Amino acid sequence: MFECLILALIFVDSIVGFVSGFGTSTLLLPILLLWYPIGTALILTGFVHLLNNIGKAGLFFRQTSWRFLLIFGLPAVILSIIGAQFVFIIDRAILARIIGLLLLVYVVAKVGWNRTITIKKIGYLAIGGGFYGLMEGLTGIGGALRAALLNAYDMTPGTFIATNGFIALFVDLARLATYTSNQTVYTFTWWFYGLVACTTLAGAWAGKYIVDYLPAKYIKTIVLIVITLASIKLLIAP
């Protein structure tokens, strides 16, 4: 029964994460922490996150922005490895609240100015990628920050999802390798891992169906709403 509830959560989580570009860790991690230690919860969440991002990258592969991926993604991967080294000794709650505050400021500014917030300079793009990677490695829930930075560019939903998926995929591989080298992995049964994989990919397919049939302006609105909810959640209950 417990496994069924976790799988149902993963399915919904995968849909939300696919459409909005993030949210997998934000929704799943707090619930897993009710039953598992932080290392185990981070590893299982990272596994789901990894599969969801494979779905994003694969289903919209041709729309990937390779320039953005290189400039933003490379610093993100490097800093995520550094951040993951300190995940077990730094107060993650404080860092999560900082992320929540930054996201809330972003949403207020975007809605208040009623125009697109853009970041054009390459240097700022690399700095943003590094900052996101560091927060992702430290907290495991930096996806909202990544989505906010991506949302500052005029991308189509497909380009947003594919580029976001590749960046998150590479960062996941880096931080998961670091987590597992510092933490004993909780041994789930092989069939449970198989069900988790199937459920996550099924959620990704359902998410693609939604993206294909919703206008771009609605997708961007959904992203902004989820960022708002994530910022409030991180501020109140990191």
SS3 readout for 158-213: HHHHHHHHHHHHHHHHHHHHHHHHHCCCCCCCHHHHHHHHHHHHHHHHHHHHHHHH
Q: What is the pLDDT of residue 186?
A: 55
CA 28 – CA 111 distance, rounded (Å): 28
Q: What is the pLDDT of residue 109?
A: 67
Residues 99-109 as b/e (b if ≥16 CB within 10 A, e otherwise) read bbebbbebbee
Q: What is the pLDDT of residue 17?
A: 77
Q: What is the pLDDT of residue 111?
A: 66
Task: Give the range of the structural domain holding residue 86, as residue numbers without chain letter.
Answer: 2-236
Alpha helices (H) along the chain: 2-20, 24-32, 38-59, 66-84, 92-113, 122-139, 143-150, 157-182, 190-213, 216-236
Domains held by the chain: number: 1
Which tokens in the block code for residue 62? 């041709």
Mean pLDDT by 10 residues, the chain (238 residues): 78 80 70 73 77 83 84 88 75 74 73 55 78 79 76 78 85 73 60 84 85 75 76 76
Q: What is the pLDDT of residue 143?
A: 74
Ramachandran assignment for 23, one of left (phi > 0), alpha (psi -120 to 50 degrees), beta (any other)? left
Q: What is the pLDDT of residue 206?
A: 87
Q: Residue 58 has what DSSP assignment? A: H
Q: What is the pLDDT of residue 211?
A: 80
Q: What is the pLDDT of residue 187?
A: 56
pTM of the model as a whole: 0.69
Q: Which residue has the tokens 């696919």?
A: 18
Q: What is the pLDDT of residue 192?
A: 78
SS3 state of residue 105: helix
